[in-house]
Each structure stands twice: as C-alpha cells, then as structure tokens.
Structure 1
Amino acid sequence: MHWIDPDCLPEVKGTVERFLLNPHGEIDGFVMSGETQAPVLVHTPPQMEAELTRHVKAGDVVSVRGVRPRKADLIAAVAVTTTNGASVIDREPDHDREHPTLEKRKMSAEGTVRLSLFGPKGDLRGALLADDTVIRIGPKEAEQVAKLLAPNARIAVRGDGIETKHGRVVNAKEIGTGSGDLRPIKEAKPKPKHEAKPKFDQAAHTCGGER
C-alpha cells in the first residue's frame, strides 16, 4: 500500500478524455476535463494499468486524489475512483515487473503541441499533440528542447514508435519544428564526478620545506 493515505489528499473530479502512453507503450496517465476549461494532466504509475483500464474508460467521470509537484501543472495520482465506487490505488512500485514486449517500429509525427507531459515529480518528459500522438523524450534531453514541447509550439519528431488500442507514442530520437528541420537529440552527458582533493600533509610542508 502507498505510504500516503489517499483520503488525506484533495480530490479533483473530471471526465477522462484519453489515456497517455510511456515509451514502452504502457499507460502512465490520462488527460481529464476538469470543472474549468483547461484540461487536467494526471500521472498514474504503469503498474496501475491493468486495474485502471478494467474500471475506467474514456468518457467516464472519475475522482482523483494525488499530489501536485511544484514544477508542473500535474496531479500525481495515488487513487482514482469511479462513479460506481471502484477505486484504483497506487500500491507502490513493483520492481520485479517487466515492461511489455510490444512491437516497435520507425515512426514520425508532426503537429501542434496541445499539452506538455511531465513525470510524477514535475520533470518535463514530452508532449501531447493536437492529433493525440504522444511524444516522449528523456527528462534530461527534454530540458534542452523545452520550447518545442510547450503548448501551441510546432514540432516534428522521428524515432521508435508503438501503437496500441489506446493510441500511439513516439520515443523521439530526432526533433525540429518541421519534417525538414530534424536534428538528433543529444543525449545528456552525465555530470563529472568530483575528484577527492589530496589531503594536506602538514609534516611535509613545514617552513623551509624541511620535515
């Protein structure tokens, strides 16, 4: 069971528009029409997929209890409850769980960004296009192309894609403003480790250089 009690968290109600896919083709959230005009981005852990799709489908009204990261307009869901009372709860990561072996193929996409997509801690991870295509980029690489992932930006990508009954996702390897403007996404270099400074040997550095 999740260490956070969902009953202690604020509740947001809305209608599920569509599910979102991660680079492995797993559902890791959905877009929800809230009480206002703006859509609500909800993140759900991939291990909730089977239970979530068993109880929830597009067009359903649900209640979401979760936390909001400081850096993004997002709800990281701990529990999703349907109108008939079924609750889908995050029961902590299953570290032994394997990703599905879905067929990947070369895929491209181009269009206008509808929503920026974020991880549960608010890190930028891609975009949802107006045609419902999901674009995924690693969080460190996404920071380098953040302007192309912002709402209303024009974007084109090429990479490895997966298509399921819940939509399609492109794990971008090249990106630009149009198909004729694609450039490779540079992988973020790991930060260099700081070497330990040699300890000062006071005995070897006495006045006059004598011991």
Structure 2
Amino acid sequence: MTTMLTWQAEGRPGLEGTRVHFGPDPVGFRALGRIVRPDPAGDFTASYSLVVREDGTLGRLSLSAATTGFEKHLTMNRTDDGFWLLDDGSGSARQDFDGAVDVDLAFSPLFTSLPVRRLGVHRESVAVEVPVVFVSLPDLEVSLSTQRYRTVRAGEGNSPAVVEFSRADLRVELEVDADGFVLSVPGLAALVSNERAEPAGQS
C-alpha cells in the first residue's frame, strides 16, 4: 500500500508532504517527503528520504535543507551493531547516541510518528522514555534528545488514539490514526490530506 500524507502548519503558512510506501510487514516502510516553512527567522525548505526497518527502527535517512543563504546535506545510517554513521559531505562520524534507534526531525509530524508506530503506543497502554536522535532545521545539527510517550487513549474504530508526547519543556497531546501516524501536533501542524492506493489486484 502507498499513501500520501500532507500536514498544514498551525497558525502560519507551511506544509509537510510525504509519500509512504509500505512493505510486506505493516511496520516497515519507505518515505519520501518535503517540508516548506516560511519563517520570520528565514524561509527554508527541506527534503528527506528514509527507510524504516520491519522492527520499526530507522535504517537509513538522507536529508537536504536550503535557505537563501546556504544548502546543506546529511545522511544517517544505523549499523547492525547499533552505531549511527553520519556524513555531511565534509566528513563522517560514528556515534551511538546512547542506543537511540529513532530519529526526530524538527517541524515533522511524520518523524514524531516513528516511536509511536514502533512501540505501539496508539494501540495499547504504554508509558515509555526513549533516547532519540534529534535533527534541527534548517541547519541539520544533530543532538541527543530524551522523549516521552504515554498512551492517554488507545484508538478504537474511527476514534483516533491520544498520545501524550513530551521532551524538555514541551508537553502536548497528539492525535494518532490507526496506522500510528500523527494526525495533529498542537501548535505545530495538522493532517489535511491522506490519499491511499492499494497495489494492483487488491481492493
């Protein structure tokens, strides 16, 4: 199955659009997306390509970001022994980021969804604190973040799940669909379009 997801920024212009293609396992997927954010501090655009493994961990990520003043690129690959290989084009680094298996990209509801899907926080009662590799935009600076996810209400039927998400001094309640994708992040963005296509031969 393939789906196109589009989130509209809250309170200001801005979009994130991504194409998600699922593999035979319901957790693993590939995604190609773009974020466009007009911003008082400077407009920017960013694009990403990522591969999520069947166990829900991020395997590979390629990022590009551009403003009027610069263009930057970053690739991240997680090895089988748990290390992250980072390459920004001027050199590479190998780090373990305290065992983090998730990446969070600034301004992106898609990336906020990754631990939710991996841990099943939208399906059953879960309260967990996880290390996450956080990538800022538009400068693509990488740091370690501690993020918390807690099930407020599991999804049921057409009713979305509610998941409390917090890091540092931020605490919000996310609405999450049955597939584990974030529908809304208060103060950031909300899903405005979800177009699905089944493989040929399936209804």
TM-score category of the 2 structures, normalised to the smaller one: under 0.3
In proportion to residue count, which structure has more strand? 2
| Structure label with greater radius of gyration | 1
Task: Return the structure number with greater helix share.
Answer: 1
Q: TM-score, normalised by structure 1?
A: 0.23
